[in-house]
A and B are shown apart, each in its own frame.
Chain A
Amino acid sequence: MASIAIAPARARARTSLRQWVGLLYVLPAVALVTVFFVIPLGMTAWMSLHNWPLMGEHSFIGLDNYVAILRDTRFWNALKFTFYYTVVVTIAIFAVAFPLAIFIERPRPLTNLYRTAFFMPAVVGFASASLLWSWLLNVDSGLFSPAAYDLGLTEKKINLLATFQPAFWSIIAMVVWKVAGFTMIILMTGLQSIPQDLQEAAVIDGAGPFARFRMITLPLMRRTLALALILSVAGSILAFDQFYIILRGGPRNQTLTAVYWIFNQSFVSFKLGYGAALSMVLLVILVALSLIQLWLLRKPAGLDD
């Protein structure tokens, strides 16, 4: 009896030691997350309950900031525009990245050159890329408008950034140029992980290329797609640099994103507390969206991968 009782206790002691060692290993990561994520997040939540100007005294006001957000139509408009941008840009990125991924997946002459060329813009920072495109899009000294004019395509130099549609699509083009290479690499790894024999079996069964893509490639890439989608959506909802640097939220404030509005409230109107509250709202929205995407792309029951 006694010996039976002792054995599990020893095992437990061993387990708990292993757990302590494990904790030791993750401690640096925990410390990093605590210092750079948990504490700032707590601080943001705390500030969001205050009237906290950039300068001067702050005072506790409970949920007043959140009540104010409900009436802040310009924030909701900014959020609406952010969603619109997110949907458009995500579709555009996938529409470009997927064909590219299929193109560079299999080894063929110059594959490495293509891979590098397509991936190149992804290593440029968003701010630098925005500055570059800000120049490319300049009507007087840039590239596109003067080139179109000199080639005789347009009667006069057209200011691409002056009205909403060309300005918005210019940004989309810039973001696709910048991000598609990265998405392409993610999708490529997904494509490469699909066993070749499945495709071959399907060919023997008489499936055409489209059927193979829909019935084999897409389902087996679910996890990769989920990753690429969440990265793209989260990145787009947090968009700021390109609209700030190239458009300044213009033309006529039609391209103010949610983060841009938070920035304005915090550092133009000096309302840090209100900016913090807006950030919390955006965080909740972003978490909810990510959960929805994970749920949509979850593994259907009975499928094994």
Chain B
Amino acid sequence: MRRNKVKTMIAKLALAAAVISGGLQAASAETANIWVRADGSNFMPRIVDAFNKAHKDQIKLDIIPNAEIIPKYGAAAAGGTAPDALSLDLIYTPSFAAAGQLEDITDWAKSLPYFASLSPAHVKTGTYKDRIYGLPFSADASVLIWNKKLFKQAGLDPEKGPTNWAEIEADAEKVNALGGDIKGFYFSGNCGGCNIFTFTPLIWASGGDILSEDGSKATLDSPQLRGAIDLYRSMVKKGLVPEGAQTDTGSNFFAAFAAGNIGISPSGAFAIGALNTQYPNVDYGITFLPGKDGGWSSFAGGDNFVVTKGTKKIEVVKEFLDFAYSLEGQTILAKYGSLPVRNDIAKEALKDLDPRYQVAAEAMAKGKTPYSVVFNDLINSANGPWTQMINEVFFGDDVDGAIKNAQDTMQSIIDQAPNK
């Protein structure tokens, strides 16, 4: 009896020792905190889980609503509680870097053997004054999607999407003629972010641009912009676009097409995953956003991975990023809604997935991203000059006045920017 007690005691002590030593071991491994915007809430937890299972160092992930991640990060940084790193909408990288908020990771980035095959659009926006502050993490490219079932009903070839502007309008008109709730074309007419993503590629593919290469000049006064506007205006005038488009601030950007009664809509690669999982009944095709007379372009969007200046966990962060760039990491990303960001293994990461991803991956590889430290003010703000202009030129009466007004306002915002 007594011996038994001693035995149990010894066993308990041993257990305690094991727990303590185990605890110590765990403490020697580091945990880094990472934030991601809600857009990444599908793939990010999966890749963090996979990393945590395979590594001693751990990642603690916080998912922040899209609209709040910037102010929240700013407040946290001011209070000294910023995460060690975050997955940041790539267009914000220049302004974050300009604010002196980010760790310079140039040397590490350049030491990566696959650095040259990382998404060029991401690396370009991740670079500020020739130093690298952000590296690609997740990717999304804009594409054109069409509804194959409606194309068939309208007597069009369901396997062939439009390849220039005239075809977009003609196809939309045919689908629209089906009548009832069916409409030819959809876009979010009051959403700056949606239209920089899906409307500017039409301009780029035709040889125009809205900002100069370094973001120092607004270049709205171009025949290509005017032409693309005329395409949209004409479709609106012919009634090919639902009434709600005029006031859609982005909430219907994806949902309108997913409902199954829109013929053609500019969208993003994210739609492939979202349609396949949430709307399996919609039969759709994916093609490039064309130029006026053919050719194509795409907005290379997504997130850059940035490191908070002065973090002590930088080694963990690097370990995590390295894992994300592995074939395993890239495959997880692709499977759960992001395009791969390493072009050298993109094909392999996508090989078991929906073949329509290949179109999007190609769009991503040659995609383009405007560069500006005041991108939010110029483009994304619901009250900025870009958003105001697109709404006026698509639906209003004074196209030239609206363009001129936007050109002047954008230029003055660029000129007043604190860190040019």
**A residues apposed to B, CB below 8 Å:** 51, 53-57, 138-141, 145, 156-159, 161-162, 248-253, 256, 260, 264, 267-270
Contacts and interface: CB of A to CB of B under 8 A. Distances in A.
Interface of B: 70-71, 73-75, 77-78, 95-96, 99-101, 190, 242-244, 246-247, 249, 374, 376-377, 381-384, 388, 391-392, 395-396, 418
B383 A162 contact: no
Q: Which 10 pairs across A and B sit closest by C-beta, in order of nearness?
A: A54-B74, A56-B99, A55-B99, A140-B244, A248-B382, A161-B247, A55-B101, A162-B246, A249-B383, A159-B243
A140 B242 contact: yes
A56 B244 contact: no
A142 to B, nearest CB: 9
B109 to A, nearest CB: 22
Contacts of B74: 54-55, 270
Q: Say what secondary structure dominates the interface of chain A.
A: loop
Nearest to B249: A248
Given A55-B74, A55-B101, A248-B383, A253 B243 contact: no
Nearest to A250: B190
Contacts of A53: 99, 418
A256 to B, nearest CB: 6
Contact of A252 (B101, B377, B392, B418): B392
Nearest to B392: A252
A56 B96 CA distance: 9
B244 A139 contact: yes
Contact of A54 (B71, B244, B388): B71
6 contacts: A55-B73, A138-B244, A249-B382, A250-B382, A267-B71, A270-B376
A105 B39 CA distance: 53
A5 B219 CA distance: 88
Contact of B391 (A138, A141, A250, A269): A250
A54 B72 CA distance: 10
Nearest to A271: B418
Contacts of A145: 243
A57 B377 CA distance: 20
A268 B96 CA distance: 13
A62 to B, nearest CB: 17
B391 A252 contact: yes
A248 B377 contact: no
B41 to A, nearest CB: 21
B70 A267 contact: yes
Nearest to B101: A55
A267 B396 CA distance: 29
B77 A157 contact: no
B383 A253 contact: yes
A51 B417 CA distance: 13
Given A55-B77, A248-B382, A249-B383, A268 B246 contact: no
Contacts of B244: 138-141, 159
A135 B201 CA distance: 32
A264 B33 CA distance: 29
Nearest to A272: B74
Given A54-B75, A54-B99, 5 more contacts: A55-B74, A157-B243, A159-B246, A253-B383, A264-B383
Contact of B376 (A138, A157, A161, A269): A269
Contacts of A252: 388, 391-392, 396
Contacts of B374: 269
Contacts of B73: 55
Contacts of A253: 383, 388
A93 B74 CA distance: 39
Contacts of A256: 383
Contact of B243 (A54, A140, A267): A140
A248 B190 contact: yes
A162 B395 contact: yes
A268 B375 CA distance: 10
A273 to B, nearest CB: 11
A260 B190 CA distance: 18
A260 B383 CA distance: 10
A270 B71 CA distance: 8
A249 to B, nearest CB: 5
Contacts of B376: 268-270
